[in-house]
Chain A
Amino acid sequence: MSRVASVALHTFKESVRERVLYNLIAFALLLIGAAILFGSISVGVEEIILINLGLSSISVFGLLMAIFIGIGLVSKEIERRTIYSILSKPVYRAEFIIGKYLGLLLTLAINTAIMTAGFYVALFYQKRSLSLDDLVVLEAVYFILLQLALVVGLALLFSCISTPILSAVFTFCLYIIGNLLNDIRWFGQETGSALVEKGTAVLYYLLPNFSNFNASAQVAHGESIPPYLLLANSLYALLYVGILLSASILIFEEREFR
């Protein structure tokens, strides 16, 4: 366990050193701040715009961080040949993968917390007060974190089998497909072909369904997410991340490094 923690901590420290990370956080905070100005040119939706733009910024910049740092988690170690010195130490490959995953997740959680704090500062500036009702936004932030946990899992998996660029492309494509799964399934049902319908149904259950975690519009209207959905989505993300990590470990354990 302590070995996983030290890999995770090392990954976290390494991620924090990435200059791109600070640029992304700064840009996200800037965008959240700009939402106040954006709201002033609209009518009656100032707070809704701030919440939607804030959550979208947290989600999009979190996604960029997850992909661009996640794709290099393993492949960079191989490229720099640092993998040899790591694996020569008493660290199991599974521990290495889990540690890498948790390290990046920790980085993303802290970045998300910073962006969320920035969002609440902007909300306070706009409303001149904050109430308990405003905490509903945290539910959507939690869903964004679950989404990012899945994206990091995917990026890590591809990082074990492919180059960083291809890993980025695969992860991003799966993110888009995962957002369109409901439509893909509906399309399969509409074709009238049993084969296509079954094929799209398989894809629907097999691929990560990112649309499960889209709750921004709902919380922007002050609606809370039902407890069942909070629990089911947490379990879904946990299970899916478990599958992705297991697959990554299996692939990584079979790789030979010479």
Chain B
Amino acid sequence: MMASDVPALRRIGGRKARWAILTASFLALVPLQYGIDVELRAHSKLEELLYVPSGKILRRLSLGHAGLLADIYWTRAVQYFGRKKLDRARRFDLLGPLLQITTDLDPQLVVAYRFGAIFLAEKPPGGAGQPEAALQLLRRGIVANPNYWRLWQDLGFIYYWDLKDYASAARVFHAGSERPGAQVWMKVLAASVAAEGGEIQASRLLWSEIYRQTENDQIRRSALDHLQALRAQEDLEHLNRLLWQFRQKAGHAASSLQDVVAAGFLPSIPRDPSGEPYKVAPDGRAGLSPHSQIDLRLLQ
């Protein structure tokens, strides 16, 4: 090695050391940020806070980008709802204000009224359990989008399903059926609800339409759960009638559905929509298997 190479080597060594220090500094940021995150999570009351609670003010501050801001708030509402649902939370304090801001920023964002109302109305832990807030949201949606008939459908649904107010539901379905472009089945629905409010047929018609129309997997899953619960309830009512007939004929209650099959009332033991066989409960009535995936509480 020549003497003239020494400063050059030192320079290279120095440069390498500087890069190493730089890399080490960046790596040191990782545990530091992790520590800050842990500390912030411990004081995470801030999460339930809206820095600007008014959509009207946000609209002014958006400088013409209110549509984009509405999309951001809607996404925030969806994420908030999804996180709370995963946590099986009973309170959804920010959901209403987030939806209010979203629709103030973009009153034509119908998806926020439609899905937002479902998020608000459904009972906890599936939703916020605030059907009145859902009605209010949908009414504002109807004022902003008077010709969009599906908002009437959603309004009627909340009256029907969550508030069990069948007269109002029938009235709303009828009003919606008069809107331009409304599907014919809205009239059928109005008549059906008016005639047999609370009956399984009307409920099935409603949930079937939701299942058919929605593009959202979560809502489709919920509609399917409700449809399956309705079918199970119908099956149970039928089985209870058969159990009663068996008792009349045999003079004693059936201890299992096998007895009913043996007596010729059924060809085989029927299964619920999740594939589990129905059972006879200790009280002598038909019931679901403990392994069944069907949740009859959805119908309460």
Contacts and interface: CB of A to CB of B under 8 A. Distances in A.
B167 interface: no
A159 interface: no
Contacts of B78: 41-43
A217 B109 CA distance: 9
Interface stretch (B57-65, B265-273, B290-298): B57-65
B39 interface: no
A16 to B, nearest CB: 28
Interface in B267-299: none
In terms of DSSP, what is the predominant structure of the interface of chain B?
helix
Interface string B61-95: 00111111011001100110000000000000000
B151 to A, nearest CB: 14
Nearest to A54: B68
Nearest to B67: A217
A214 B67 CA distance: 10
A45 B64 contact: no
A180 B56 CA distance: 13
Contacts of B111: 43-45, 48
Contacts of A48: 67, 71, 109, 111
Contact of B64 (A38, A53, A59, A221): A59
Contacts, number: 74
B108 interface: yes
Contacts of A56: 65, 67-68
Chain A: interface residue count, which band?
A: 20 to 34
Interface residues of B, number: 22
Interface in B115-143: 115
A123 B72 CA distance: 19
A216 B78 CA distance: 22
Nearest to A60: B65
B65 A216 contact: yes
Given A44-B216, A48-B109, A59-B65, A217 B115 contact: no
Contacts of B215: 44
Interface in A137-163: none
A41 B76 CA distance: 9
Contacts of B104: none
B154 interface: no
28 contacts: A41-B79, A42-B71, A42-B75, A42-B78, A44-B114, A44-B215, A44-B216, A45-B71, A45-B74, A45-B75, A45-B109, A48-B67, A49-B68, A49-B75, A51-B67, A52-B65, A52-B67, A52-B71, A55-B67, A56-B65, A56-B67, A210-B63, A213-B64, A217-B67, A217-B70, A218-B108, A221-B108, A223-B108
Given A44-B215, A56-B68, 5 more contacts: A38-B71, A48-B71, A53-B68, A59-B64, A213-B64
Interface of B: 60, 63-68, 70-71, 74-75, 78-79, 106, 108-109, 111, 114-115, 215-216, 218
